[in-house]
Amino acid sequence: MADTRRFEGHGVLITGAARGIGAATARRLAEEGARVLVTDRDGPEAERTAAELRECGLAAEALGCDVADRASVEAAVAHAVAAFGSLDVLVNSAASCTPDTDLVEDGTDEAWDRDLDVTLTGTYRCCRAALPHLAATGRGAIVNVGSVNALQDFGNHAYSAAKAGLGSLTRTLAGHAAPRGVRVNLVTPGTVRTSAWEGRDADLDAVRPLYPLGRVGEPEDIAAAIAFLASRDAAWITGTTLTVDGGLTAVNTGFLAAVRHQSEA
């Protein structure tokens, strides 16, 4: 349980919140006093997550929302405002990541378009619908969820391009929204133990040594960073990217290990 109540009385909408980072963020903000709308394209799973929060005495509702559909996004924003009386925080966690083909020339327009439409344009749709309501509260905050894929090559061409686009969108929206009292920031996670890695413990064990802090991330690690950026503790922070990756992009552990091996040989 969080030690503070930074979001007492805040209305919060989180996309992609049925599981993983989105679900952990819903729990973290609700523990700090927020009333949370858990949205996801998988409506029943969103309701399961919200029900788990309610069983813990936390304030949560659920709604099916497809960020690739403008009407669905606008309905979710309207639902949050009607249910909570205000919308103070928007967390854009929904994303699509289609596995790459072996050769880029075998990729399809449909797969490329889907990843960009959900991950990048979906975030834009949510920000566009939410901004007037966030501005009305005088304390509005948007936190977008990016990826280290935007910073280095970790595969997934379309997903990586979309996540890189979120960096630019975050900065331009920050400049646009600042005069209206709304802050916009980006959190950039490294490898996080979510359902995307289910059944792939060997892969997680293989990448663990690449992380200077000695482990992959947990959804709660990212939720804590999102909570900070969304809170008044970050009142003078906007347009920034907070990288939460255990040191992965700061330290080339593979290079250092190779050099040390050679020097010891």
In terms of residue numbers, what domain contains 245?
11-264
Looking at residue 2, what is its pLDDT? 46
Per the confidence metrics, is the pTM higher than 0.75? Answer: yes
Report whether pLDDT(1) > 50: no
Looking at residue 257, what is its pLDDT? 85
Tell me which residue of 205, 204, 186 sits closest to 196, measured CA to CA.
204
Whether 155 is covered by a domain: the verdict is yes
**Model confidence at 265, in pLDDT bands (50, 70, 90)?**
low
Whether 4 is covered by a domain: the verdict is no
Looking at residue 138, what is its pLDDT? 94
Rounded to whole angstroms, what are the CA distances from 212 to 59, 250, 253?
37, 9, 7
Whether 6 is covered by a domain: the verdict is no
Q: Is 253 helix (H, G, I), strand (E, B) or coil?
A: helix
Q: What is the CATH number of the domain that holds 246?
A: 3.40.50.720
**What DSSP letter does each residue of 177-240 carry, written as one string?**
HGGGT-EEEEEEE-SB-SGGGTT-HHHHHHHGGGSTTSS-B-HHHHHHHHHHHHSGGGTT--S-
Mean pLDDT of 117-135: 98
Whether 141 is covered by a domain: the verdict is yes
Report whether pLDDT(216) > 90: yes
Tell me which residue of 251, 240, 227, 259 sits closest to 33, measured CA to CA.
227
DSSP H or E segment with residue 45:
helix 43-55
Q: pLDDT tens-digit profile of 16-54?
A: 999 999 999 999 999 999 999 999 999 999 999 999 999
Looking at residue 255, what is its pLDDT? 85
**Model confidence at 254, in pLDDT bands (50, 70, 90)?**
confident
Mean pLDDT of 1-24: 91
Whether 1 is covered by a domain: the verdict is no
The one-character DSSP state at 98 is P
Q: pLDDT tens-digit profile of 80-94?
A: 999 999 999 999 999
Whether 219 is covered by a domain: the verdict is yes
Report whether pLDDT(169) > 80: yes
Q: pLDDT tens-digit profile of 197-212?
A: 888 999 999 999 999 9
Catalytic hit among 159, 163, 182, 190:
159
Report whether pLDDT(145) > 50: yes
What is the share, in percent, of the chain residues with pLDDT greater than 90?
91
- Any catalytic annotation for residue 124? no
**Model confidence at 262, in pLDDT bands (50, 70, 90)?**
low
Whether 180 is covered by a domain: the verdict is yes
Averaged pLDDT of the chain: 95
Count of domains for the chain: 1
What six digits make up the tokens of 39?
């949205």
